[in-house]
Amino acid sequence: MQIAFFGQRADLSHPKLLTAEQGQPLWTSPQHRAEMIAQVNRYWLVEGPKTALVYQKDRTARETLYDPIEELTTDGVVNTEHFWVGMKNWWANTLDLPKAQLGHIQLKSFMARMQSIFGIFTLFSAARIITGAQSLINIPPAFAVLMLTYSPKGQGLWDFTARGSQLYDEQYDDRLAQLTSVKVDLSQGLRINDIQQIQRGFDGMVDLYRKGKSGEVTSDVEAIVNSPEHFLEALAQTPPEARKKFQDFIKASENMETAMESGSDDKAVENASQELRNQYADSDPEFKATILKLKASDLYEYSMLHPPFAVKGNPWVQPLHGWVSAIIVTRLMLKVSLHTFANAAWMTQIGHGLVLAAAYYAGMYALDHVAVYAAQHHQEWLNWFKHFGSGLVNERGNVLNLDQTSSPKGKSSKFGTNCEMTLKGV
C-alpha cells in the first residue's frame, strides 16, 4: 500500500513506474506486477523453510507417559506480560549482543538462502518472465544485484526482528519451565510426604517470588511464610500426649493467640510473634515438619492463583515489531528493486553489491566476537580501572601530602585513604 503513495512508484513525473493509471482501476506496470508476485512467492514459499533452517532447534524426544501426575495438575493461572514490560524485555534480549549473536544469525541466514538458491532464482525468473517485466538475458544479473544488496538493506532487519522474537519466546518459556519445576517439586513432596522435597520446593517458590517485581505479591508471600496461624494450626494437629514436649511453645502460642484476638497494638503482636519464633527454633522436629507442610500447602495454593511472574509474552509485542520491520524493509528495498529493472551497468551494480555484502558480513562477524570478548573480560577491565584509579589517587595523596602527616607504618595520607575508600565504595 505504501508503495502506491510514497517513493519512486508514486512519482507522477515517471508514468511508467507508477503502480496505477487513471481510468484503469486494475492496471499496474509489469515491473510492479513482477515485484508483487515475487513478494508473494518469497513470503509464502521461501521465507518459511529458510526461517526453519535458521531458527528451528532440534529437540530431544522425551517420553511423557510416565511423568508424575503433577505435570498435568500444576498449570494454574497463566499471567500475560504487560505491553510496555514486554517491549522492554524484547529490546533487552535483542540488544544483549553476546546472547543474541546477531552476526552468527546473519551468516546462518545467508547460508540458508544459498541452500535454496535455485528455488529462489526459479521463482524470481518466473515472475519477471510471465509479466514481461524483463528480458531473459537481464534476469541473472538483476537477481545477483538483488541477492547481494538484500542482506544489508532488508534481510538484516528481518533477522534482527526474528532473533528478538525468538529470544522473547525463550525468555517466557524458561520462566514457565522454572515455575513448573518448582510447582512439581512442591506438589509431589506434599503428596508423598517427603520433607526434604517439600523444603526444596518451598525454598524454590519463595526465591521465585523474591525475583518478582510486584511489591503486593511479595508482601502476600511474606505473610504466608511468616503467618503465626501455622503454629496454632500445627498445635491443633498435635496429639495431647505429645504436647508435653514443648510446654513453653504452647504458652508462647497462647500468648500469640491472645494478642491477636484482643486487638493489641502492633508492637505487642510483634513481641508475641518473636517469642513464638524463638520457641519454634527449639521445638520438636516433627512439629517443625508439620508447620513446614502447612506453609508449603498454602504457598502452593497461592501460586496457582497468583504466579510470581508472567509466563506468557504480550501478544502485541512480536506482531508490532514485524509490522514496523515490514514497512521499513519495503521502503529500503524499493529503490534496489527499481535498479534491477534498469538493465544497465550490471557490473558496476554487482561490484557495489559485493563490497556492501562483504563489509556487512565482516562487520557483523566482528561485532559478535567483540561483544563476546567484552562480556568475558568485563569484570577484569573494571578491576583494572579500579586498581589503576586507586593507585593514581594514592600516588597523588603521597606526593601532595596534603595533611603533612605520615604513619610510622607507611600508610598513605588521609586524602589518599579517603579517595581510595570512596573508589572501593563505588
Please state the three-class secondary structure of the chain as a single string.
CHHHHCCHHHCCCCHHHCCCECCECCCCCHHHHHHHHHHHHHHHHHHHHHHHHHHCCCCCCCCCCCCCCHHHHCCCCCCECCHHHHHHHHHHHHCCHHHHCHHHHHHHHHHHHHHCHHHHHHHHHHHHHHCCCCCHHHHHHHHHHHHHHHHHHHHHHHHHHHHHHHHHHHHHHHHHHHHHHHHHHHHHHHHHCCHHHHHHHHHHHHHHHHHCCCHHHHHHHHHHHCCCHHHHHHHHHCCHHHHHHHHHHHHHHHHHHHHHHCCCCHHHHHHHHHHHHHHHHCCCHHHHHHHHHHHHHHHHHHHHHCCCCCCECCCCHHHHHHHHHHHHHHHHHHHHHHHCCCCCCHHHHHHHHHHHHHHHHHHHHHHHHHHHHHHHHHHHHHHHHHHHHHHHHHHHHHHHCCCCCCCCCCCCCHHHHHHHHHHHHC
- How far apart are alpha carbons 108 and 162 in whole angstroms? 13
- On the question of pLDDT at 317 being above 90, the answer is yes
Same domain, yes or no: 243 and 135: no
Same domain, yes or no: 94 and 182: yes
Q: How many domains does the chain have?
A: 3
Rounded mean pLDDT of the chain?
A: 77
- On the question of pLDDT at 122 being above 70, the answer is yes
Of 223, 224, 254, 260, residue with least CA distance to 236: 254
Report if residue 365 sits inside a domain: no
Give 198-228 pLDDT, tens digit per residue. Answer: 999 998 988 888 876 554 556 677 777 766 6
Same domain, yes or no: 294 and 318: no
Report if residue 368 sits inside a domain: no
Same domain, yes or no: 320 and 402: no
- How far apart are alpha carbons 190 and 290 in whole angstroms? 11
Report if residue 204 sits inside a domain: no
Among residues 322, 344, 366, the one where a domain terminates is 344
Q: How confident is the model at residue 75 (pLDDT cuts 50, 70, 90)?
A: confident
Of 67, 293, 59, residue with least CA distance to 194: 293
Give 5-15 pLDDT, tens digit per residue. Answer: 666 676 677 77
Among residues 305, 326, 358, the one where a domain terminates is 305
Give 142-192 pLDDT, tens digit per residue. Answer: 898 888 888 787 888 888 999 999 999 999 999 988 998 999 999 999 888
Alpha-carbon torsion, ordered 22, 23, 26, 30, to 10 deg? -50
* Vertex 293: Cα angle to 197 and 256 (nearest 5): 140
Same domain, yes or no: 296 and 316: no
Q: Which residue has the higher pLDDT, 228 or 297?
A: 297
What grid cell was written down for 140?
A: 541473472
Q: Domain span at residue 413?
A: 379-425
Among residues 258, 281, 305, the one where a domain terminates is 305
Give 277-286 pLDDT, tens digit per residue. Answer: 666 655 667 7
Same domain, yes or no: 339 and 414: no
- How far apart are alpha carbons 212 and 307 in whole angstroms? 9
pLDDT of residue 224: 74
- On the question of pLDDT at 326 being above 80, the answer is yes
Same domain, yes or no: 402 and 256: no
- On the question of pLDDT at 405 being above 50, the answer is no
**What's the rounded mean pLDDT across residues 382-400?**
54
- How far apart are alpha carbons 285 and 306 in whole angstroms? 31
The residues, ordered by sequence, that sit 6+ positions from 132 with a Cβ below 8 Å of its Cβ are 30
Report if residue 298 sits inside a domain: yes
pLDDT of residue 318: 93
Same domain, yes or no: 265 and 408: no
Rg (CA), the chain: 34
Same domain, yes or no: 242 and 316: no
Same domain, yes or no: 144 and 267: no
Q: Is 214 left (phi over 0), alpha (psi -120 to 50) or beta?
A: beta
- On the question of pLDDT at 414 being above 60, the answer is no
Same domain, yes or no: 294 and 396: no
Report if residue 6 sits inside a domain: yes
Same domain, yes or no: 231 and 268: yes
